[in-house]
Amino acid sequence: MSETGQAGAMIGPNAILQLLPQIARIGGEARVAQMLAEAGIFDVPDGTHMIPEGDAARLHQVLRRDEPDLAPQLAAKAGRATADYILAHRIPEFAQILLKLLTAPLAARSLSRAIAKHAWTFAGSGEFRVVSPWCFEIAHNPIVRGEHSATPLCHWHTAVFERLYRVLVHPHVTCEETTCCATSADGMCRFELTLP
């Protein structure tokens, strides 16, 4: 296993595709091409199939290395865009209407189950677990595997969860990564969603 992913492990293409427009905003297409090359990505995903998780991990790592001050904000914007893609293309409108009619606790329970069923699209070879309808864990998260940081790094995942919950559960839900495998030795990223 490499530090940026297990051989053959796959992840959803939005882990890359939604990050590219954010990189373009700070440096144009030339910056996008440069970062893709640094990450060893020579064929941009077309969005129709899963991609090697190592490609996504390397691009996120290049962003964190080259743009340490902007990386959290850019990854979070990419996460929100990923959630918007999911809302537009992966969750039927009827299901969204039903979730919005439920109380927040019931909607959170239903949404957390749906997220768990599709965890392979954003957790790759990591091990996803629903701790509660308001708390998720990803063990050995491939997007940050092998990295070390004083602060949590999973801004993309955090933003995906927060945006989905804000649209489908309650508009004031917040998500915080309280433990990151880059900050602790237990190899666990923990995401806690709360209502104000």
CATH of the domain at 167: 3.90.1520.10
Answer yes or no: is 1 within a domain. Answer: no
Residue 65's H or E segment, with its range, is: helix 53-66
Residue 187 zone, left/alpha/beta (φ > 0; ψ -120 to 50; rest): left
- What value does the mean pLDDT take over residues 15-37? 97
- At 184, is the pLDDT very low, low, confident or very high (cuts 50, 70, 90)? confident
- Has residue 6 got a pLDDT over 70? no
- At 185, is the pLDDT very low, low, confident or very high (cuts 50, 70, 90)? confident
Answer yes or no: is 5 within a domain. Answer: no
Domain that holds residue 103: 10-194
In angstroms, the CA 45 to CA 51 distance is 7
pLDDT of residue 1: 33
- At 8, is the pLDDT very low, low, confident or very high (cuts 50, 70, 90)? confident
CB-CB contact of 5 with 144 (8 Å): no
Answer yes or no: is 4 within a domain. Answer: no
Answer yes or no: is 125 within a domain. Answer: yes
Answer yes or no: is 138 within a domain. Answer: yes
| pTM (two decimals) | 0.94
Report the number of distinct structural domains present in the chain. Answer: 1
pLDDT of residue 128: 97
Question: What backbone phi and psi angles, to 5 degrees, belong to 150?
Answer: -80, -15
Q: What is the mean pLDDT of the chain?
A: 95
- What value does the mean pLDDT take over residues 74-78? 98
| Cα Rg of the chain, angstroms | 16
Answer yes or no: is 57 within a domain. Answer: yes
- At 7, is the pLDDT very low, low, confident or very high (cuts 50, 70, 90)? low
